[in-house]
Amino acid sequence: MGKTDTRVDAYIARSAEFARPILAHLRKLVHAGCPDVEETLKWGVPHFMYKGMLCGMAAFKNHCAFGFWKGAMLLPDNSEAMGNFGRISALSDLPGDKILVALVKKAARSNDAGEKRPQAPRIAKKTPLVPAELAKALSKSPRAKATFESFSPSNKREYIEWIAEAKTDVTRTRRLVTAVEWMAEGKPHNWKYMKARPVGRKD
């Protein structure tokens, strides 16, 4: 037996007039496709749970959104974030009831089978481009250059951005000198904020 949530009733009631019949209709179809679904609020909007996340809906100023947690698996050609069906401003913007109920059933079967939501591919951060002035300064200090080259892209970026954000040539030059000194000592840019090990501590 499914489980409703009075917070979803309240959410629908306070939504814009055009959105109420859309949300109520979607809610009805989700329960029809998955009788054991449970309602809840997540991130401030209604979601439907069945052995994990199933789908969710939301109302905005001029449109509604409805989507499946595993939208990329169910609708690979149209899986934009939560709103698998684009901007919904009227019931006519939705697919037919049979199609939506079938998708809910498919989503429920996927959760029954324990299928995992596909992870978005991780995009490796590019190594930041080293400004000519920094490269020149590093070339004069082998130790600083070796430290810089051993840094992660984020550590390199911190130094590059710190130098690039200087508002005057005098400040930029001073930061370049300081940066080279710190890197010659093996220090990242934010070394001052790193927790120092208490004296006498043994790990």
The pLDDT assigned to 174 comes to 93
Evaluate whether residue 14 is within a structural domain.
yes
The pLDDT assigned to 1 comes to 60
- Euclidean distance between CA atoms 79 and 72, whole angstroms: 5
Query: For residue 23, with 0-12 CB atoms within 10 Å meaning exposed, 13-18 middle and 19 or more buried, which class applies?
Result: buried
- Domain boundary residue among 56, 77, 112? 112
- Euclidean distance between CA atoms 11 and 23, whole angstroms: 9
- Domain boundary residue among 84, 112, 140? 112
- Euclidean distance between CA atoms 27 and 85, whole angstroms: 15
- Euclidean distance between CA atoms 68 and 164, whole angstroms: 44
Nearest CA to 81 out of 94, 69, 99 is that of 69
Residues 108, 136, single domain; the answer is: no
Evaluate whether residue 187 is within a structural domain.
yes
Q: What is the mean pLDDT of the chain?
A: 85
Give 35-46 pLDDT, tens digit per residue: 999 999 988 899
Range of the domain at 175: 132-193
Please, where are the H alpha helices in the chain? 6-14, 19-33, 71-74, 97-112, 132-139, 142-150, 153-164, 169-184
Of the pLDDT bands very low, low, confident and very high (cuts 50, 70, 90), residue 202 is very low
Give 121-140 pLDDT, tens digit per residue: 665 566 678 888 899 999 99
Residues 16, 64, single domain; the answer is: yes
Where is pLDDT greater, at 50 or 116?
50
Evaluate whether residue 123 is within a structural domain.
no
- pLDDT over 60 at 203, yes or no: no
Evaluate whether residue 107 is within a structural domain.
yes
Q: Which of 20-29, 67-76, 152-161, 170-179 has the lowest mean pLDDT?
A: 67-76
The pLDDT assigned to 76 comes to 57
Residues 11, 103, single domain; the answer is: yes
Where is pLDDT greater, at 147 or 120?
147
The pLDDT assigned to 69 comes to 83
The pLDDT assigned to 130 comes to 85
Residues 62, 149, single domain; the answer is: no
Pairing of strands 45-49, 53-59: antiparallel
Evaluate whether residue 199 is within a structural domain.
no
Rounded-to-10 torsion of CA 21, 92, 69, 5: 10
Evaluate whether residue 55 is within a structural domain.
yes
Evaluate whether residue 121 is within a structural domain.
no
Q: Which two tokens stand for residue 12?
A: 């629908």
Judge if pTM exceeds 0.85. Answer: no
Give 86-125 pLDDT, tens digit per residue: 889 999 999 899 999 999 999 999 998 887 776 656 655 6
Where is pLDDT greater, at 80 or 22?
22
How many separate domains does the chain show? Answer: 2
Please check whether residue 129 is in contact with residue 157, taking contact to mean a CB–CB distance below 8 angstroms: no
Residues 149, 105, single domain; the answer is: no
Evaluate whether residue 119 is within a structural domain.
no
- pLDDT over 50 at 201, yes or no: no
